[in-house]
Amino acid sequence: MIEFGPVTIHYYALCIIVGVALAIWISHRRFSAAFPETVSVVSDVAVIAVPFGVIGGRLYHVITTPEKYFGAQGSLIDIFKIWQGGLGIWGAIALGALGAFLSYQRLRSRQKLPSFRYFADAVAPGLLVAQAVGRIGNWFNGELFGRPLDTWWALSIPENLRPAGYLEFKTFHPTFAYEALWCIAVAITLMSLKDRFAPGSIFALYVLGYCVGRFFIEALRLDFAHEFGGLRLNQYVALFLGCAALITFARIQRSRR
- pLDDT tens per residue across span 194-229: 778 999 999 999 999 999 999 999 999 998 888 999
Residues 6 or more apart in contact with residue 238 via CB below 8 angstroms: 211, 212, 214, 215, 218
133 inside domain: yes
4 inside domain: no
The total number of structural domains in the chain stands at: 1
Residue-level pLDDT at 7: 53
Q: Rounded to 10 degrees, what is the CA torsion of 14, 20, 25, 29? A: 160
Residue 121 has pLDDT above 90, yes or no: yes
5 inside domain: no
2 inside domain: no
Residue-level pLDDT at 2: 56
44 inside domain: yes
246 inside domain: yes
6 inside domain: no
222 within 8 A of 172, measured Cβ to Cβ: yes
Which domain does 90 fall in, by range?
Answer: 11-256
Residues 6 or more apart in contact with residue 232 via CB below 8 angstroms: 218, 219, 221, 225, 226
What Rg value do the Cα atoms of the chain yield, rounded? 19
28 inside domain: yes
Residue 96 has pLDDT above 90, yes or no: yes
Give the residue-averaged pLDDT of 47-56: 94
Cα→Cα distances 11→7, 84, 113, 133, 142, Å: 13, 10, 37, 11, 11
| Confidence band, pLDDT 50/70/90 cuts, at residue 5 | low
| Confidence band, pLDDT 50/70/90 cuts, at residue 40 | confident
Does 253 or 79 have the greater pLDDT score? 253
237 within 8 A of 214, measured Cβ to Cβ: no
